[in-house]
Amino acid sequence: MTVTIALEPPRQAGVLRLLELSDAYAASLYPAESNHMVDVSSLEESGMSFFVARKDDAILGCCALVEASDGTAEIKRMFVDEAARGFKLGKQLMDVILERAVERGMSIIRLETGIYQPQAIGLYRAYGFVEIGAFGDYKPDPLSIFMEKRLS
């Protein structure tokens, strides 16, 4: 499957649909207090790189890189449409987002994911992410796994 991944604005119908699917998926796994989603307005702020994966006109996946002022960044809103799973789209998105972090001079990239998402956890571990404690504004949560990868 030939997919293109590019920086795009998040406020478009196909992305909003994907974010709704992501929200529903997370809500099916975790209570509200353990979901740490950012909304579309946050995805439009400066210091945010939002990537969209497409096959032709169909939006199949997305992810965001949120830069902090200290040279670190966080991956948010990494999601692949269920119809596109199994095509290694998560790996393609990770390649693009890590490349962007290096281009932007980030030293560490972090993320939070849930314990009931073994495919996501496996993907992050395969890319060299290791578990850490809660970071930033996160509080420790038994349903969350916090990870980071040092880039320099």
Mean pLDDT across 147-151: 97
Number of neighbours of residue 81 by Cβ within 10 angstroms: 18
Mean pLDDT across 95-117: 96
CB-side neighbour CA atoms (13 Å) of 86: 3
pLDDT > 90? residue 30: yes
pLDDT-derived band at 83 (thresholds 50, 70, 90) equals confident
**DSSP summary character for residue 37:** P
pLDDT > 90? residue 85: no
Q: Rounded to an integer, what distance in angstroms lies between the CA atom of residue 76 and that of residue 66? A: 7
pLDDT-derived band at 1 (thresholds 50, 70, 90) equals low
Which percentage of the chain shows pLDDT scores above 70? Answer: 99
SS3 string, 60-81, reads EEEEEEEECCCCEEEEEEEEEC
pLDDT > 70? residue 147: yes
What is the per-residue DSSP string for 97-115? HHHHHHHTT-SEEEEEEET
Chain centroid, CA 126 distance in Å: 15
